[in-house]
Chain A
Amino acid sequence: MDNNTQNSFERELERRLGIMEAPDYEAAPCFNKTDYIITAAVILICIAAVIGGAFL
């Protein structure tokens, strides 16, 4: 990457960071509390199944 390309990369990066930091930027919907609860439940079910499998 020559200096010109490097500079244009950094300019584009700054532009994107500016957009992402703007108060009106519509970010991807976050992983919410329900998602974490579902994930924890899936993990617990899997742990129980894997432990139970040892006794088959």
Chain B
Amino acid sequence: MSKTSSVEQSAEKEAMLGTLPVLQSERLYGFMDALLILSGYCIATWSYTQGAYLTTLVGFKQLLIGAFFGAVLMLAIYQLPVILSVRYGIDIWIWLRAVLGRKGVVAVSLIIIAVNYPWYAVSADLFASSMNSLLGIAHLPPLPAAVLSVFCVAAGTALAYKGMGAITATTRILVPMLLLVGVFVLIAGFTSVPADVIWNYRPAGYEPGNIIPYIISIEANFAFVITLVGGMAEIPRLTKRENSGFWAGVFGQGAAGSFFVVLGAVMAIAMQYTTGEAVSDPTVMLASLTVPAMGLCSLLLVAFANIGTQAVGAYLYGVMLKASFKRISYRALIIILAVYVGLLCIWGRITEYFGSFLTIGACVYAPLAALLFTDFFFVRKQKISLRSAYSLKGHNAYEYTGGFNIVGLLCIVFGFCMSLAIYDPIASKVHIPVLFVFTPTGFSFLSTAALYLILCRIPFISKYMLKDRSECR
């Protein structure tokens, strides 16, 4: 291999697995490939857990509306700024240097990783539980949960280690198979009990006219889909058209991901009807609702799906961290992430504490998404100085106050507080009913966007925020 071609390959690798802008000629994906990868990311055991959780709140028709229309609504709004990633070939975290400051991005991305990445420990934990159920069906002794969950993390990380080629090849085969099995399981769920048991399902304690459980279910759907905000741009920045990157994100989660949420709900309702138990483990569901051998389908629905999710997640968050820690290689970063999740798996109690931890964490995502949306469309009006964003010599528009943008960070704290002021997720208590109809995530998004826009209209703040205008073409 010539020296020039080696340098070119190294630069291309740094673009794909790092922070350099990806050129149009290097883009890998059309709409369909991006859709398959993002669908593969969204289809994991947590979809069934979410579906089973929603059945405790609302009837099946409201569940369908929330899972599809609620999810697509939030996605179609908060994912709009991914078009910047396609336009410039960059991650949103490069743009966010303009909103939060260089050091502000490091601080917020670390918080997002700390709060969000334990999702993968939960996924690995569910993988272990399902695999042990499968071993039980085969009359084999169970394996230690920590061993199985660390295996799931290691397998996903190994795929991500190989780069996007391995992930793309895997999802091209895996996702269509998952969707096919999903349709089969949906039919099995509907035929294992009278169809009207599912269609007319109402949760225990249903009160006609009480709108609060419905709003909580919509909030659960908003919170569920907005967790991707930190890693939403890594795949779209590799797509060839702005609309492909955007719609792949919206439908990857809002259609494919939501289909598996509904699948989890159907199986949970059917299980409740046939066994009296609200089970969300797909292996047990399949074995109980069809024939025990069908539990083997969970090898696909759980094993491969969770490993695929782990792989895409490692890539997304590895690249996201790369924006903050450019001195550390992508591969070293995904190994650090794997160690973090592996330790949580060995600890073994993440699922027990995760509900409260995650709900509070979700309060950070909405203000972050609101800032990006408002900054891109209304403050910076789709123009950024890439030279300042990358801190090239002589370009310091985003240095702000010691590397922190006080205005952006203040807005995040404001949005976080607004969310908690409306609803206490730990005690499940509504504090401000009139604002609760917007849902905590929805109102936090709207109020943060409004505050940020108003602040940026004040002349001296505008001067602080928009030092980059002379550099923007």
Residues of A within 8 A of B (CB): 1, 9-10, 12-14, 16-17, 19-21, 25-32, 35, 39, 42-43, 45-47, 49-50, 52-54, 56
Contacts and interface: CB of A to CB of B under 8 A. Distances in A.
B20 A12 contact: yes
A11 B329 CA distance: 18
A14 B24 CA distance: 16
Interface string B14-29: 1100001101100100
Contact of A50 (B65, B77, B87): B65
Contact of B14 (A9, A45, A46): A9
Nearest to B12: A12
Contacts of B107: none
Nearest to A40: B76
Interface string B229-251: 00000000001111100100010
B70 to A, nearest CB: 5
A30 B392 contact: no
Interface of B: 11, 14-15, 20-21, 23-24, 27, 59, 61-62, 65-66, 69-70, 72-73, 76-77, 80, 83, 86-89, 211, 214-215, 218, 239-243, 246, 250, 326-327, 386-387, 390, 392-393, 473
Contacts of B65: 49-50, 52-53, 56
A53 B67 CA distance: 11
Given A50-B218, A53-B62, A56-B62, A27 B87 contact: yes
B69 A10 contact: no
A30 B24 contact: no
Dominant secondary structure at the B interface: helix
Contacts of B246: 31, 35, 39
A39 to B, nearest CB: 6
A50 B71 CA distance: 10
A30 B387 contact: no
Contacts of A31: 83, 242-243, 246
Given A17-B21, A21-B473, A53 B61 contact: yes
A46 B72 contact: yes
Given A12-B11, A28-B240, 11 more contacts: A1-B327, A10-B393, A16-B21, A16-B23, A21-B473, A29-B241, A29-B243, A31-B242, A46-B72, A53-B65, A54-B215
A49 to B, nearest CB: 4
A1 B326 contact: yes
Contact of A13 (B87, B250, B392): B392
B73 A28 contact: no
A43 B326 contact: no
Contact of A54 (B86, B214, B326): B214
